[in-house]
């Protein structure tokens, strides 16, 4: 087998920075330390202040070297971290020297974590959590990612997979030893109960309203209303910049324009949309369709009404969405209608702080509605849906009394989907449970 490459990379932000961290992982680490460090290979887990030399013996820099001996390291391999002065020339020199060594190359994106996964240091859900933690820009995203890194999510998935493994073990025994008794329809009742309980647990996670994904990707607020209500002006005000074109000509906005804000510790996307009206203009009509679609997918809809204009019949607002009714242009005339959640002027800013605070409170309430969301990304949701479908099929087969072979087939499929969440697909799990839970040799 070919020896594994040793990988290296700048682990800290781009230079110049106060300190640059260069991370090295792989079989060449001890050689590298022996060759390049004045200190030689430092004791494991003890910071060593040392000169670092290049191949000609010229110093690259003086810095700290930290050695971790595999498997007691992040990647599970021997690793060396060099803390250098964060100048561009220092970093370039160090990486040039390292990658010129035999068997050493620059790491691919995520490769250190991939090695950690391959070494069994973390599962796939935890690895995804690490990626999310690095990307996190809000408190909400950070808290969710940290829970995922620390294995909170993995524990839920693993417990489902273990339940399923137990069920599969039961069924396998019934398939393999049908004449040992105990396989009457009554005998399958506990199996059906356990299966139903597992399906119910997965359904609870699936019915979380997509909160985990929203925290990760952002909540959605759509601004909807008649042409000239002031939607684009409001969006620009919320963005603090001229993101959308504002004119006195109705029908100016045709596409959906989105801006990103942080409100209540969560990412919130505001979407400006085309004014809702009957139109023969093909492009504008498409804009109206997009507006309705955007609103239908939003967590919250701001229905903006020109408070200075005569009242109009309400536009066809999408069912299901939470709607805030907002009267605009309060600077022009005191609006007559009283039945509004907010009265604002996007021009002067009047009422905007209250509107933002209200939106923040509603988003915060949504985010808190599910205490610890299980599903944080589409990959998980899809796998769970597929796993759930296989479980439901197993249950239907059991109820129809159609034979344990088919049930086992469905359960194995479901187990594969649940295992994929953690990145582990292993029949040994099933075999282990079969042989430990039953006295096969009796």
Ligand X SMILES: Nc1nc2c(ncn2[C@@H]2O[C@H](COP(=O)(O)OP(=O)(O)O)[C@@H](O)[C@H]2O)c(=O)[nH]1
Q: Which parts of this chain interact with ligand X (CB under 6 A)?
A: 225, 227-233, 246-248, 252-253, 275, 328-329, 331-332, 345-347
Decide whether 218 or 275 has the Cβ nearer to ligand X. 275
Q: Is 180 helix (H, G, I), strand (E, B) or coil?
A: helix
In the block, which residue shows the tokens 């449970």? Answer: 433
Interaction partner, residue 387 (ligand X, Mg ion, none; CB < 5-8 Å by kind): none
Q: Are 139 and 265 in contact (CB under 8 A)?
A: yes
Question: How far apart are the C-alpha atoms of 149 and 129, rounded to whole Å?
Answer: 5
Complex with Mg ion: residue 231 or 362, whichever CB lies closer: 231
Tell me the closest approach of the beta carbon of residue 264 to ligand X, in angstroms.
24
| Spacing of C-alpha 324 from chain mean position | 28
Report how far residue 126's alpha carbon sits from residue 66's, in angstroms, rounded to the nearest whole number.
25
Rounded least distance, CB 227 to ligand X, Å: 5
Question: Cβ closer to ligand X: 188 or 233?
Answer: 233
Which residue, 62 or 333, has its beta carbon nearer to ligand X? 333
Instruction: Name the one residue in this structure whose structure tokens are 């009283």.
Output: 338
Q: How far is the CB of 298 from Mg ion (least distance, A)?
A: 17
C-alpha distances in Å from residue 83, one per residue of 13, 63, 74, 120, 270 = 13, 5, 17, 27, 42
Q: Which residue number, 111 or 255, has a Cβ lying nearer to Mg ion?
A: 255
Nearest distance in Å: CB 244, Mg ion: 6
> Measured between alpha carbons, how far is 438 from 442 in angstroms, rounded to an integer?
9
Q: Which does 397 bind (CB under 5 to 8 A by kind): ligand X, Mg ion, none?
A: none
Give the C-alpha distances (Å, rounded to integers) separating 264 from 135, 300, 358, 359.
18, 15, 10, 8
Provide, for the chain, the percentages of residues in helix, strand and coil under a 3-state DSSP scheme, each rounded to the nearest 5: 45, 20, 35
SS3 state at 264: coil
Residue 228 touches which of ligand X, Mg ion, none (Cβ within 5-8 Å per kind): ligand X
Beta bridge partners of 327: 305, 343
- The DSSP bridge partners found for residue 85 are 19
Shortest distance (Å) from residue 308 CB to Mg ion:
16
Q: How far is the CB of 393 from ligand X (least distance, A)?
A: 50
**Pair 94, 60: CB distance under 8 Å:** yes
Judge contact between 324 and 299, C-beta under 8 A: no
Position closest to ligand X via CB: 230
Where b means 16+ CB within 10 Å and e means fewer, 315-333 reads bebbeebebbbbbbbbeee
For residue 59, what are its two tokens?
Answer: 């110093």
Q: Which does 86 bind (CB under 5 to 8 A by kind): ligand X, Mg ion, none?
A: none
Dihedrals phi, psi of 114, to nearest 5 degrees: -60, -40
From Mg ion, ligand X, none, which one binds at residue 347 (CB under 5 to 8 Å depending on kind)? ligand X
Q: Which does 273 bind (CB under 5 to 8 A by kind): ligand X, Mg ion, none?
A: none
Choose among Mg ion, ligand X, none what residue 126 binds, the Cβ cut-off being 5 to 8 Å by kind: none
Q: How far is the CB of 253 from ligand X (least distance, A)?
A: 5
Residue closer to ligand X by CB (options 41, 344) is 344
Shortest spacing between CB 371 and ligand X, in angstroms: 39
Q: Considering the complex, what minimum distance in angstroms separates the CB of residue 235 from Mg ion?
A: 8
Number of Cβ atoms within 10 Å of the Cβ of 135? 11
* Tokens linked to 414: 């479901």
Q: Which residues bind Mg ion (CB under 5 A)?
A: 231-232, 253
> Which of ligand X, Mg ion, none interacts with 328 (beta carbon under 5 to 8 A by kind)?
ligand X
Binding at 63: pick from Mg ion, ligand X, none (beta carbon under 5-8 Å per type): none
Between 25 and 253, CB nearer to Mg ion: 253
How far is Cα 176 from Cα 400, in angstroms, rounded to an integer?
A: 20
Partner in contact with 300, chosen from ligand X, Mg ion, none, beta carbon below 5 to 8 Å by kind: none
Question: Quick one: 188 or 252, whose CB is closer to ligand X?
Answer: 252
Of the pair 249, 436, the CB lying nearest ligand X is at 249
Using the minimum distance from each CB to ligand X, give the nearer residue, 50 or 228: 228
Both tokens of 248, joined, read 């006195």
Least distance (Å) between residue 332 CB and Mg ion:
17
Residue with tokens 């589409």: 378
């Amino acid at each position: 087998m070919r020896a594994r490459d040793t990988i290296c990379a700048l682990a800290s932000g781009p230079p110049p920075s106060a300190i640059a961290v260069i991370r090295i992982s792989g079989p060449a680490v001890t050689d590298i330390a022996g060759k390049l460090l004045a200190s030689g290979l430092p004791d494991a887990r003890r910071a060593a202040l040392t000169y670092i030399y290049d191949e000609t013996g010229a110093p690259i820099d003086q810095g700290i070297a930290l050695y971790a001996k595999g498997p007691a390291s992040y990647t599970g391999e021997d690793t060396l971290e060099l803390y250098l002065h964060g100048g561009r020339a220092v970093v370039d020199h160090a990486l040039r020297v390292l990658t010129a060594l035999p068997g050493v190359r620059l790491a691919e994106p995520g490769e250190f974590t991939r090695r950690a996964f391959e070494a069994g240091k973390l599962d796939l859900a935890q690895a995804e959590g690490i990626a999310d933690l690095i990307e996190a820009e809000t408190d909400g995203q950070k808290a969710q990612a940290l829970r995922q890194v620390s294995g909170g999510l993995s524990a839920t998935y693993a417990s489902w997979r273990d339940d399923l493994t137990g069920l599969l073990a039961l069924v396998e025994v019934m398939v393999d030893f049908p004449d040992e008794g105990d396989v009457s329809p009554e005998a399958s009742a506990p199996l059906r109960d356990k299966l139903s309980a597992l399906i119910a647990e997965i359904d609870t996670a699936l019915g979380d309203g997509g909160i985990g994904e929203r925290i990760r990707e952002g909540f959605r607020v759509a601004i909807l209303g008649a042409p000239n209500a002031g939607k684009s002006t409001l969006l620009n005000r919320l963005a603090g910049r001229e993101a959308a074109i504002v004119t006195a000509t109705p029908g100016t906005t045709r596409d959906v324009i989105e801006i990103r804000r942080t409100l209540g510790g969560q990412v919130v996307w505001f979407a400006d949309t085309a004014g809702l009206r009957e139109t023969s203009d093909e492009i504008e009509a498409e804009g109206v369709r997009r507006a309705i679609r955007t609103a239908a997918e939003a967590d919250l809809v701001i229905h903006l009404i020109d408070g200075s204009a005569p009242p109009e019949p309400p536009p066809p607002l999408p069912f299901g969405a939470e709607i805030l009714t907002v009267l605009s242009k309060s600077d022009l005339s005191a609006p007559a209608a009283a039945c509004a959640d907010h009265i604002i002027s996007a021009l002067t800013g009047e009422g905007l702080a209250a509107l933002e605070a209200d939106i923040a409170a509603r988003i915060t309430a949504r985010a808190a509605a599910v205490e610890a969301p299980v599903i944080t990304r589409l990959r998980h949701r899809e796998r769970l849906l597929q796993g759930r479908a296989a479980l439901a099929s197993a249950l239907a087969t059991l109820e129809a009394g159609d034979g344990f072979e088919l049930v086992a087939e469905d359960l194995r499929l479901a187990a594969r989907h649940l295992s994929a969440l953690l990145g582990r697909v292993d029949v040994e799990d099933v075999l282990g449970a079969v042989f430990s839970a039953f006295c096969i040799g009796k």
